[in-house]
Amino acid sequence: DAGVIQSPRHEVTEMGQEVTLRCKPISGHDYLFWYRQTMMRGLELLIYFNNNVPIDDSGMPEDRFSAKMPNASFSTLKIQPSEPRDSAVYFCASSRLAGVDEQFFGPGTRLTVL
């Protein structure tokens, strides 16, 4: 199994630009999670999906952030417009079950907003 796949691995953009992060979960996993990691705030859950349906988006910082999961093998996290404070590592993770099963993390996308 290839594991969770994320792209791009690194993204450098200018303030105000739109950023789209992509994730392919492990086949057969019904849950997909988007996390953000910073030194100050640690690892924060942004949103998670069950069978492509968003279940909890209470961690999404503001309306500039949106996430979609059009099918079981693909999800996107979009930031529009981006701001310097969005600079972080964004991880996607998937699991068969939520909360009681291990989560498999992707390699992450390191986002820098100038």
Buried b (16+ CB within 10 A) or exposed e, 9-43: eebebeeeeebebbbbbbeebbbbbbbbeeeeeee
Q: Which stretch binds other proteins (CB under 8 A): 7-15, 19-27, 71-79, 93-101?
A: 93-101
Chain mean position to CA 72: 15
Site for other proteins in 56-85 (CB under 8 A): 56
Minimal distance in Å, beta carbon 21 to other proteins? Answer: 14
Is 51 one of the binding residues for other proteins (CB under 8 A)?
no
Is 5 one of the binding residues for other proteins (CB under 8 A)?
no
Torsion of CA 22, 15, 13, 45, to 10 degrees: -30
Q: Looking at beta carbons only, is 50 or 81 nearer to other proteins?
A: 50
In the complex, which residues of this chain contact other proteins (CB under 8 A)? Answer: 33, 42-45, 48, 55-56, 91, 93, 97-100, 102-108
